[in-house]
Chains A and B, each alone.
Chain A
């Protein structure tokens, strides 16, 4: 297909793409309906946030609808760089998806981990039912609608009843990001009492001078059945020419638990929406999110906690550092519905502003419809504590190193939750380099790891961010 831009995506274009992929009719209908909603919906559905909806720099006119074919990135070198035997990895390199190597034992148990296109073609009837009542409907959000219309990649992960897997399921995406776009949709089904971890990593190859704006859009849905426990970690380190749209949502049934942790480091403009729904009694959720903005990066994040069932608990922390001219808006909403008695919720948004032209806004909201609850939120903006810097300097560190160490420490709550040690190391290195003003992909891979100096090799148990908080004593 010739180079069509995102702005030119029409019903006909979608129908053609869908046909080329031999998709079922219902999916084509779903896509065209979603596209229509994308066109109709305002950038922000809730009028609480209208003021903050700022899409400058989002340019669909010059962004190609698809990724280059064949991929520009060198597949072998990417795989060799990111290979680890501590995770089951799907690689997504530009338009190319490499299937994972799943251990025989897991296949026997009935674990499915595959790209979403393959999954749909294998069992279209199952997915038809699912698409009718999926967690993130096109009606919910303008850019979720666009993803639902255009998604071409992503993974489907199904873990059967009672299966506990310690090796993380991992998806590594590497984009050549040269004025193109990737729409990806991930779907995770955690059957009763299953327990596993998902790791998502996003990188761009080195930018060239003439790189145009690219678009990356991801939509991830996690369904947790009774007693299931899922950890979902993601690292976004796309290049500075990529506009990022991310929608994540979990639906938790009885006694289930979801733990999200996200590091938002890259991109030109990042729009992230995350919601944990505690649908049934005893469900719980945790969400830890860090943002590191530099240059002219903009971040617009929302982390929402929705309590529907009784005795549910939801916790969220968003932390951000903005330097130079970076801007970040942290939104969040704790919603406790009528039936959600005896629920506990906590939402915190903490920013550190490190530049004269940097800016951070925080809007933590509460909507509480019943009384037998405990809901707390907080927001703060501050600088690096001079006393901390002084202390470290008195121990022999140069001022810049002292500050760097404090910043790396600021992100540690998320980094230490990353389930694969070498990935956690890489993230520390990225933060370290970003502090020093180095943003490109090749340097990340070459640089001397920071943790060789400061961190012990052995993995430690992440600190509990919430139960130790004074509000929970």
Chain B
């Protein structure tokens, strides 16, 4: 049981001060041109970024909401706060974090420091100390790993060269929104031939909020480099923001290998509308490992553009929709070069009236010879009130492509349950074991500690689902 925590962490004892925390601006709710200009001014951004934000804002106001996907009717853009300075963010207290979230933390065995961080109470400063040596190591290799705002200040040329080249603001309404008001996120540059062996996580990063409302992540993996980035975490993240709209861009240069793992577990009142896209050049590999557990509505379709011969793309998407949740997830692969290969695997579980949707695109462009692709989506419905939809789009323009798509929907087999129970498991344990087995391909891809956490989380989600 979570005992009462105080928020009076004495930051001075770590002996660092964030100079930027001195600014404090109050914004009214709603998004106007002035708000956008203000954000840019506070951040002391160069003019091109201001112009970029304004162009994005213009597009955002003009662009209609998507007519497809989840229900966005209750999304009120005018009721939202589009920017809050870091000091405001931290002014929330541990007491404000809902009890059920705290209990979940306890059950998952999350360390105190991380608990507060996850609770949005800003404990990320501790992590800096913990991961300091790791960051030194990376820096020696020439790896840049910082937050996106800092990157704009410190690496202006590199930043400008790649920023928004993969996802232009005109891509969709939410990409435009993010482009107008983005703040935070990770910026990673891996030099040629460098291989980062440990997965990089947002935890490691210094400063400013890690879990921004409109975070903007840019990963550039130079030739033959290797990196695994992990975003989010398995534990539920408590947030007062009702809309999270991130943009993630990945550029995998020839021969690079990038894996991006996301485990999204926002609380159940959050709209999570995210645009993620990767460019994979010749012989590069991009892998999206995408888990969606939380949020009220998620609309997220990580995509890979295979631009060079021999590029490889892999998307592994897992969704778990409980009561009142709609996980509209999937993936897109666009084959634009010959001899490229891709695989999409989607697994979804719906229970207690939750709804999962797989929405995917497989596009083989003209001239992309010798493409091989397979798509597989499986859905499990745990009760009669839940719903699942599959909308795969397969567009093949080349005559020697080999593509396949398969999907199945089913329920847990009585005989499977019976078998496990005959071996001494309770119905509850048998059920969660079957669900975990169903999720296995995803869990296998996670680093150890995440896999353990996710397993525990599924057990928790499954609790009380029998009877």
Q: Could you list 23 examples of A-B contacts with CB < 8 Å?
A: A48-B68, A48-B391, A354-B399, A355-B399, A357-B366, A359-B395, A359-B396, A360-B396, A361-B393, A364-B390, A364-B405, A365-B390, A365-B391, A366-B407, A370-B384, A376-B408, A377-B406, A379-B392, A379-B394, A380-B403, A380-B405, A381-B403, A383-B399
Q: How far is the CA of A358 from the CA of B402 in the complex (A)?
A: 14
Please report which residues of chain B, range 383-419, place their CB below 8 angstroms from some CB of chain A when the two chains form the complex.
383-411
Let me know if B67 and A368 touch, CB within 8 A.
no
Known: A364-B392, A365-B392, A366-B388. A356 touches B405 (CB 8 A): no
- Pick from A356, A365, A376, A377: contact of B399, CB under 8 Å: A356
Q: Which of B383, B398, B410 contacts A374 (CB 8 A)?
A: B410
Partner of A381, one of B386, B392, B402: B402
Q: Majority SS of interface residues in chain B?
A: strand
A84: CB under 8 A from chain B? no
Question: Across the interface, do A358 and B399 meet the contact criterion of CB distance under 8 Å?
Answer: yes
Mark A361-391 against chain B: 1 for CB-CB distance below 8 A, else 0.
Answer: 1111111111111111111111100000000
Nearest A residue (CB) for B401: A381
Cβ contacts under 8 Å, A370 to chain B? 381, 384-385
Chain B 355-386 interface 0/1 with A at a Cβ cutoff of 8 Å (1 = within): 00000000010100000000100010111111
- Report if A2 contacts B (CB, 8 A): no
Given contacts A355-B399, A383-B399, A378 and B404 within 8 Å (CB-CB):
yes
In the complex, which residue of chain B has the Cβ closest to the Cβ of A365? B391
Q: What 1/0 mask marks residues of chain A from 72 to 92 whose CB sits below 8 Å from any chain B CB?
A: 000000000000000000000
Question: Cβ of A415 < 8 Å from any Cβ of B?
Answer: no
Q: How many A-B residue pairs have CB under 8 A?
A: 118
Complex CA gap A376/B408 in Å reads: 4
Could you tell me the distance between the alpha carbons of A329 and B312 in the complex, rounded to whole angstroms? Answer: 26
What B residues does A361 contact at CB under 8 A? 393-396
> Given A47-B67, A371-B382, A377-B406 in contact, is the A363-B399 Cβ separation under 8 Å?
no
Q: Which chain B residues (232-272) contact chain A, with CB distance < 8 Å? A: none
Whole-angstrom distance between the Cβ of B324 and the nearest chain A Cβ? 16
Q: A351-B396, A370-B384, A383-B400 are in contact. Are A47 and B68 (CB under 8 A)?
A: yes
| Given pairs A377-B390, A382-B401, 16 additional interface contacts (CB within 8 A) | A351-B396, A353-B401, A359-B395, A360-B396, A362-B392, A362-B396, A364-B407, A368-B381, A368-B387, A368-B389, A370-B381, A371-B382, A371-B384, A376-B406, A377-B407, A381-B404
Contacts of A382 in B (CB 8 A): 401-403
Chain B contacts for A376, CB-based, 8 A: 406-409
Closest to A367 in B: B389
Query: With A360-B396, A363-B392 known to touch, is A341 a contact of B384 (CB < 8 Å)?
Result: yes
Choice from B382, B401, B402, B409 contacting A366 with Cβ under 8 Å: B409
CB distance from B57 to the nearest CB of A (A): 26
A contact residues, total (Cβ < 8 Å) = 39
A100 to B85, CA, bound (A): 83
Query: Is A471 in contact with chain B by the CB < 8 A criterion?
Result: yes
Chain A residue numbers with a CB within 8 Å of B366 are 357
B408 to chain A, nearest CB (A): 5
A134 contacts partner chain B, Cβ-Cβ < 8 Å: no
Which are the 7 A-B pairs with shortest beta-carbon distances? A371-B381, A366-B390, A379-B405, A375-B409, A362-B394, A380-B404, A353-B399
Interface string of B340-364 (1 = CB under 8 A from A): 0000000000000000000000001
Interface centre among B399, B401, B404, B411 (most CB of A within 10 A): B399
Mark B142-155 against chain A: 1 for CB-CB distance below 8 A, else 0: 00000000000000
Question: B406 contacts which chain A residues (CB < 8 A)?
Answer: 376-379
B68 contact set on A, CB distance < 8 A: 47-48
Cα of A48 to Cα of B393 in the assembled complex, Å? 10
Given known pairs A356-B399, A371-B382, A372-B384, the reply for A381 and B394 (CB within 8 Å) is: yes
Contact check: which of B394, B402, B409 meets A363 at CB < 8 Å? Answer: B394
Contact indicator B407/A371 (Cβ below 8 Å): no
- In the bound complex, residues from chain B placing their C-beta under 8 Å from that of A463 are none
Closest residue of A by beta carbon distance from B395: A361
Count of interface residues, chain B, beta-carbon cutoff 8 Å? 37
Question: Nearest Cβ in chain B — how far from A443, in angstroms?
Answer: 26
Which residue of chain A has its CB nearest to the CB of B381? Answer: A371
Residues of A near B392 (CB, < 8 A) are 362-365, 379
Which residue in chain B gives the minimum CB-CB distance to A350? Answer: B404
Q: Which residues of B contact A357 (CB under 8 A)?
A: 366
Question: Smallest Cβ distance from A341 to chain B, in angstroms?
Answer: 7
Residue-by-residue, is A157-201 near B (CB-CB < 8 Å gives 1, otherwise 0)? 000000000000000000000000000000000000000000000
A368 with B409: CB separation less than 8 A? yes
Chain A interface mostly helix, strand, loop or mixed?
strand
- Tell me, in angstroms, the Cα distance from A118 to B368 when the chains sit together: 56
Q: Which of A361, A363, A368, A373 has the most CB of B within 10 A?
A: A368
Note all chain A residues with C-beta closer than 8 A to B386: 371
Q: Which of B60-100 contact A (CB under 8 A)?
A: 67-68
**Interchain CB contact under 8 A, B409 and A373:** yes
Shortest CB distance B129–A (Å)? 49
- Quick check: A378 and B407 within 8 Å, CB to CB? yes
Q: Does A22 contact B (CB under 8 A)?
A: no
Task: Give the Cβ gap from A310 to chain B, nearest Cβ, in Å.
Answer: 12
Nearest residue in B to A353 (C-beta to C-beta)?
Answer: B399
Q: Could you tell me the distance between the alpha carbons of A378 and B404 in the complex, rounded to whole angstroms?
A: 7
Q: Which residue of B lies closest to A46 (CB)?
A: B68
Residues of A within 8 A of B389 (CB): 365-368
Q: A371-B386, A372-B384 are in contact. Are A363 and B393 (CB under 8 A)?
A: yes
Shortest CB distance A307–B (Å): 12
CA A378 – CA B390 in complex, angstroms?
11
Asked whether any CB of chain B lies closer than 8 Å to the CB of A338, the reply is: yes
Q: Report B9 CB to chain A, min CB distance, Å.
A: 47
- CB of A378 within 8 A of CB of B411, answer no
Inter-chain contact A338/B384, CB cutoff 8 Å: yes
Task: Give the chain B neighbours of A47 by CB distance below 8 A.
Answer: 67-68
- Give every chain A residue within 8 A of B383 (Cβ-Cβ): 371
Please indicate the chain A residues that have their CB under 8 angstroms from the CB of B411 in the complex. Answer: 371-373
Nearest residue (CB) in B for A371 is B381
Which residue of chain A has the shortest Cβ distance to B400 in the bound complex? A383
Closest residue of chain A to B402 (Cβ to Cβ) is A382
Please name all residues of chain B whose beta carbon is closer than 8 Å to the beta carbon of A371 when the two chains form the complex.
381-384, 386, 411
Measured between alpha carbons, how far is A375 from B410 in the docked complex, in Å?
Answer: 7
Select one of A363, A372, A375 contacting B408, CB under 8 A.
Answer: A375
CB distance from A44 to the nearest CB of B (A): 12
- CB contacts (< 8 Å) of B397 on chain A: these are 359
Rounded to whole angstroms, the CA-CA distance of A266 and B390 in the bound complex is: 31
Q: Contact between A381 and B379 (Cβ–Cβ < 8 Å)?
A: no
Residues of chain A within 8 A (CB-CB) of B390 are 364-366, 377
Q: How far is the CB of B384 from chain A (nearest CB, A)?
A: 5
CA distance A367 to B387 in the complex (A): 7
**Contact B407 A368, beta carbon cutoff 8 Å:** no
Alpha-carbon separation in the docked complex, A471 to B407 (Å) = 11
Closest chain A residue, CB of each to CB of B393: A363
Give the residue name and chain of the A residue nearest to B358 (CB).
A366
B402: A residues at CB distance < 8 A:
380-383
- Give Cα A363 to B393, complex, Å: 5
Please give, as numbers and ranges, the residues of chain B lying within 8 Å of A377 by CB-CB distance.
Answer: 390, 405-407
Closest to B69 in A: A47
Cα-based distance from A204 to B128 in the complex (angstroms): 78
Partner among B67, B398, B405 whose Cβ is within 8 Å of the Cβ of A362: B405
**A368 vs B355: C-alpha distance when bound (angstroms):** 9
Complex interface: chain B residues within 8 A of A354 (CB): 399
Residue interface mask A327-345, B partner, CB < 8 A = 1: 0000000000010010000
Closest to A51 in B: B393
Residues of A within 8 A of B395 (CB): 359, 361
Measured between alpha carbons, how far is A376 from B390 in the docked complex, in Å? Answer: 10
With a cutoff of 8 Å between Cβ atoms, the chain B residues found around residue A373 in the complex are: 381, 409-411
